[in-house]
Amino acid sequence: MARRRAHAKSCRTRRGGPLSAIVEFDSVGLRYGTGAEVLRDLDFRLARGGFYFLTGPSGAGKTSLLQLLYLARRPTRGRIQLFGQDLTDAPRDVLPDYRRRIGVVFQDFRLIRHLSAFDNVALPLRITGKSDAELEGPVREMLAWVGLADRASARPPTLSGGEQQRVAIARAVISQPELLVADEPTGNVDAEMAARLLHLFTALNRLGTTIVVATHDVGLIARTPGAQLIRLEKGSMTDPTGSLRNPPLGTAQAR
């Protein structure tokens, strides 16, 4: 508790007024163990309400960068600010509060195999203390939205890859996160479902959610006007226009 208070105090001193950036990376590097750095000198800011695609060849460090974004890892150097708070060295007991503000679509879905689709989607709400009565409606609605209303009681092993991915997406967005991080979210779905998911992301973005999608799907990028592209190559970021160092207002803020 004392550490939480100290962290909150230190964060207050770092805040300097209204924030336009939801994510700030300052000279961030990441290495696993004693190996070479998989991410190097990442300096960028993501505007609140922005829509970003993260691209790059396999092994460029996209998943590692996303893991830093959803607080599954800490950088080995540099500073990371999320939601205006420096979380680089934040005590681990404050991290859950921030993780609850981030929706994540994991590349491997990470659905809990023995829970039904309904329970998987309901999990983020249960963690925040919502009762069964409170979460029943939103979860059914979300499952209907991703086209799985009739599969609510099915368990992940009985679902197809595309259905599992939709459950994972429903779970990521059910709590209306401020930041949505998705790792190849359309990798296992057909073109029609990909379009629907993109529509969902766009709708969420209009409501103010900052979206970061790692993808190889050029078509997805082309169908999202206004989205910014972040390109990673061998752990370094290319930002030829400099817009990621000084981001324009996100679409939601621009409105």
Partner 1 sequence: MNSSFLVGTEAERRLLPGGTLRGPTPYVIAIMTFAMMIVAAAGLALANAAGVVAGAVEHRYVLQLPDGGAGKLEAALRSSRSMPGVIGVEAVPEGEMRETLEKWLGPGGLGEDLPVPALIHLELAPNADASRIGATLSRGMPGARFIAEQATVQPLLGSFRALRWLAVALVLLMAAATSAAVVLAARGALDTHRSTIETMHGIGATDEQVALLFQRKIALDAMVGALVGGALAVAALLLIGGGGLAMASELAGGPPLRGSDFILLALLPVAAVVLATLVARFAVLGALHKIV
Chain contacts with partner 1 (rule: CB under 8 A)? 70-74, 92-93, 95-97, 99-100, 102, 104, 106, 110-115, 119, 122-124, 126-129, 131-132, 171
Nearest distance in Å: CB 95, partner 1: 8
Q: Which is nearer to partner 1, 185 or 247 (CB)?
A: 185
Question: How near is the Cβ of 221 to partner 1 at its closest, in Å?
Answer: 26
Pick between residue 20 and residue 107 the one whose CB is nearest to partner 1.
Answer: 107
CB of 165: closest distance to partner 1 in angstroms? 15
Q: Which of 64, 91, 85 is nearest to 75 (CA)?
A: 64
**Is the distance from CB of 115 to CB of 155 less than 8 angstroms?**
yes
User: Cβ of residue 219: shortest distance to partner 1, in angstroms?
Assistant: 28
DSSP state letter for 186? T
Shortest Cβ 101–partner 1 spacing (Å): 8
Task: Tell me whether residue 136 or residue 239 sits nearer to partner 1 (CB atom).
Answer: 136
- Closest to partner 1 by CB, 45 vs 171, is 171
Return the bridge partners of 29, or none: 77
- Residue nearer to partner 1 on the CB measure, 127 or 254: 127
SS (H, E, C) 94-114: HHHHHHCCEEEECCCCCCCCC
CA distances from 237 to 96, 98, 157, 242 (A): 28, 25, 37, 11
Q: 222: closest CA among 179, 188, 191, 178?
A: 191
Q: Cα dihedral angle (72, 75, 79, 82), rounded to 10 degrees?
A: -10
